[in-house]
Amino acid sequence: MGLRNGPESFGLVSRLFHWLMAILVLSLIALGLRLSSMEPGLSNLWLYGLHKTLGLTALGLVLLRILWHLISPPPGPMATGWERLFIKAWHWTLYALMIATPIAGWAGSSASGIDTLYAETFVVPPLVEADETSEFVWFILHEIFAKTLLGMVIIHMLAALRRGMAGDGTLTRMLRGKA
Amino acid sequence: MLRPRHLALLALLAAPASAAVVDYQLDPIASTVAFETDFGPDLITGTIPLELADLSLDFDNVANCTVEVALDVTGAKASFPFAAQALKGPKVLDAKAHPRMTFASTSVRRAGDAADVTGNLTIRGVTRPVTLKAQLFRPQGSAAGDFSHLTVKLTGRVNRSDFGATGWADMVGDEVRIIITAHIDAKG
Ligand code: HEM
Ligand code: HEM
């Protein structure tokens, strides 16, 4: 079983990207919701650092994933006609949100005027200047993007499981490569 | 109230024989401005360097005492790195636009063995009256009438929102408690 995608199959690289990022994105959403609802203190301040580090990692991974798909295109949904187009558009939107969400979080964090650290060590360059209004706007966008992503991922997961139970091979080829 | 062990608290009226108005200058290295504020269930603590302190003390007439201090906001430190950046950033002290914080007394009144120092505090360019409590200490071992080296302790609290320093109001307390410990030497 190859690393590259085939006309009907997902290669190992694409599948690793998919499942690694699936876990990462779901954890990020859970962690993000925790951040926005907790009372910050010294004991949980590190969760912000963790969320930012994992979020920037997700941004890096999605860019690599797209680069990889330019080199080795994925098979495309197992459907025809408008349904195929619809699923493609859905997946593209997931990609767009996986880029837009961390960028908005990064911009909002930059606008707060505090250094954004990667892995508690490296200072990530600020995307925008420190400014309270822009901080507010970027975090609202971050929340909207992340919650839209969550909604779309839930539908995505349900659709994948439904197809998996119907046994059309969609879930199998994302798990094992071939239908 | 933490009273330095090695220092003897001076009643402000215990005038030395040669009582007069004495001008003092600050020993900036040995002096500190400490602050603390609530951060969720915890505290943020930190220091801001004293840049200048002009004191003149009248041991006969407390009302004649004057105090002027200036702090270098750009040198502020806090108990964890984010807090220092947040503190100096535009949402709190805005050190770039307002590198100095100043206090100038307008009236001094005796209060027991301490004094109430009322004055104008300027933070972020906003001036508000505040009252600080002042205590004077003499280093242990110095002669009772020797007022050439003293320690002044000024304590008080301010609401940062009064000065427009409102950043992170949902996370960080509004009330900031301040303890200035200034080591001063008589001039001349
Ligand atoms: C347990 C949860 C999930 C399951 C069961 C699942 C299942 C699948 C399956 C079966 C495919 C292949 C579709 C095809 O054959 O064309 C797929 C593709 C995809 N999944 Fe998921 N997924 C899950 C979670 C996620 C998450 C959390 C994300 C991202 C936020 C995500 C993003 C994507 C994307 C972008 C594709 C398209 C891949 C491509 O062809 O370029 N998935 N998923
Ligand atoms: C795919 C990546 C990411 C996802 C899915 C994600 C998801 C979320 C979610 C769901 C929230 C809660 C929003 C709310 O209810 O207000 C959140 C909050 C937050 N995120 Fe992200 N995030 C990601 C990346 C990032 C990055 C890269 C940064 C910064 C470098 C970041 C910084 C923050 C901050 C500071 C908050 C807290 C905002 C607040 O206090 O309300 N996030 N994130």
Q: What is the per-residue pLDDT across A78-101, written as a single tens digit (0 to 9) for each?
A: 999 999 999 999 999 999 999 999
Q: Give me the DSSP letters along A31-51.
A: HHHHHHHS---TTTTHHHHHH
Asked if A112's CB is within 8 angstroms of B80's CB, the reply is no
Q: What type of residue sits at position A105?
A: G
CATH code of the domain in which A137 resides: 1.20.950.20
Q: What are the sequence ranges of the domains in chain B? A: 9-186
Asked if B41's CB is within 8 angstroms of A41's CB, the reply is yes
Using alpha carbons, select from A89, A101, A112 the residue that is nearest to residue A144: A101
CATH of domain B9-186: 2.40.128.110
Q: Give me the DSSP letters along chain B.
A: ----TTEEEEPTT---TT-SEEEEEE-TTT-EEEEEEEETTEEEEEE--EEEEEEEEESS-GGG-EEEEEEEGGG-EESSHHHHHHHHSTTTT-TTT--EEEEEEEEEEEETTEEEEEEEEEETTEEEEEEEEEEEEEETTS-TT--SEEEEEEEEEEEGGGGT--TTTTTEEEEEEEEEEEEEEE--
Asked if A132's CB is within 8 angstroms of B40's CB, the reply is no
Using alpha carbons, select from B85, B74, B69, B78 the residue that is nearest to residue B25: B69
Q: What is the pLDDT of residue B1?
A: 37
Residue A93 Cβ < 6 Å to ligand 1: no
Asked if A41's CB is within 8 angstroms of B91's CB, the reply is no
- Chain A contacts of B40, Cβ < 8 Å? 39-42, 44
- Chain B contacts of A130, Cβ < 8 Å? 89-91
A6 lies in a domain? no
- The radius of gyration computed from the CA coordinates of chain A, to the nearest angstrom, equals 18
A4 lies in a domain? no
Mean pLDDT for chain A? Answer: 95
Q: What is the pLDDT of residue A179?
A: 77
**Tokens matching residue A150:** 């969550």
- How far is it, in rounded angstroms, from Cα A23 to Cα A9? 22
* Inter-residue contact B98 to B89 (CB < 8 Å): no
Low pLDDT (below 70) residues in chain B: 1-19
Helix axes A81-111, A46-71, angle to 10 degrees: 140
Residue nearest to atom 29 of ligand 1 (CA): A22
CA-based nearest distance B40→chain A, Å: 5
Q: How confident is the model at residue A133 (pLDDT cuts 50, 70, 90)?
A: very high
CA-based nearest distance B126→chain A, Å: 19
- How far is it, in rounded angstroms, from Cα B159 to Cα B126? 12
**Tokens 């430190």, residue located:** B77
The share of chain A scoring above pLDDT 70, in percent, equals 99
- How far is it, in rounded angstroms, from Cα A26 to Cα A14? 18
Q: Model pTM?
A: 0.86
For chain A, the domain total comes to: 1
* Inter-residue contact B57 to B187 (CB < 8 Å): no
Q: What is the per-residue pLDDT across A35-83, written as a single tens digit (0 to 9) for each?
A: 999 998 999 999 999 999 999 999 999 999 999 999 999 999 999 999 9
CA dihedral A90, A93, A94, A97 (to 10 degrees): -160
Instruction: Provide the residue range defining the domain that includes A114.
Output: 12-176
Residue A174 Cβ < 6 Å to ligand 1: yes
For B167, what's the count of Cα atoms within 13 Å in the CB-facing half-sphere? 24
| ipTM of model over 0.95 | no
The answer to whether B41 faces chain A, any CB pair under 8 Å, is yes
A5 lies in a domain? no
CA dihedral B1, B2, B5, B10 (to 10 degrees): -50
A2 lies in a domain? no
* Inter-residue contact B27 to B52 (CB < 8 Å): no
* Inter-residue contact B65 to B108 (CB < 8 Å): yes
Q: What is the pLDDT of residue B8?
A: 58
- Chain A contacts of B90, Cβ < 8 Å? 113, 130-132
A164 lies in a domain? yes
